[in-house]
Amino acid sequence: MYKRFLVLISLLISVLSLNAQESLDYSKYYKQLTIKSPKAIIYDAETGDVIYEKKANEKSSIASLTKLMTAMVIIDSNLDLNETVTITKDDFDRIKGTTSRLWLGSELTRKQLLTIALIASDNRAASAIANSYPGGKLAFVKAMNVKAKQLDMFDTVFTDPTGLDKNNISTAFDLVKMAQASNQYPLIRELTTSSYYEAFIKNKNKTLNYNNTNLLVRQGLWDIDVSKTGYIQEAGKCLLMQTKVLDRPIIMVFLKSYGKYTRTADAKRAKQWLENIHIQANLAMH
């Protein structure tokens, strides 16, 4: 009985560490995984292994996943994040006609705008960030594309900082690179994994409450490092995350989903699948 207990403890430790399974052939287990998003990738950020892919090199509109690049560019600019920026008519959405609670004339710091853009995916906030950049939005978008090339995102093009433009194009594989780069920014990690934000607009004497657009962040049950959702009709519902599964950094990207909960359900299925196959592999070893 005691020996069986020791075997079980040993098995649990090996499952949690995954060290013995770095060369695991995941393709043997593909049939056990159902991913309903038309395009997807699951990537081991520690080993650089593609664990699972589904049309991962096909180009697609990426909607508000764009805002991770917007965040990196504004942080890289070294502009004062505490400087006040005013919402103008130039920040209003003329592509999709989406609305925002950031009224005309509202004054917020760049950090407030960045927080609202990343947590709540507010398009007006992202636009105001870009318009506050030296040279305005055109220069900002150019900087986004330069950054993409620096990250070897060669199948990616940005045409606006919000993701409202359907011509913001990338692939699931390229978005892995964007996730890895975003994870190097402590502020992006902090903001994208915050479940809630309260913004006080001083000159309007108003407080606005925002919830994270990622249900998995709001629920607080996952260990998530970086997160971003997105949606426009042309892109479908999108989800990018770097999370931890069995204490290993795993990047998940799901594109073109159309069910209300499909992208979230895909993430849950992927996590359960990874946990299950490592248990199977370790049982086979013993």
Dist CA 34 CA 26 (whole Å) = 14
CA distances from 9 to 3, 12, 16 (A): 10, 5, 11
* 208-233: b (≥16 Cβ within 10 Å) or e: bebebbbebbeeeebebbbbbbbbbe
* Residues annotated as catalytic (active site), given as ranges: 64, 67, 121
- Torsion angles phi and psi, residue 196, rounded to 5: -155, 145
* 167-193: b (≥16 Cβ within 10 Å) or e: ebbbbbbbbbbbbbbbbebeebbebbb
Rg value, the chain, Cα = 20
Strands (E) located in the chain: 39-44, 50-54, 60-61, 84-86, 107-109, 169-170, 196-201, 206-211, 224-232, 236-245, 248-257
Sign for the pseudo-dihedral over CA of 266, 269, 275, 277: negative
Residue 89 contacts residue 83 (beta carbons within 8 Å): no
Dist CA 210 CA 193 (whole Å) = 13
Residue 143 contacts residue 69 (beta carbons within 8 Å): no
Closest by alpha carbon to 130, among 97, 159, 167?
A: 159
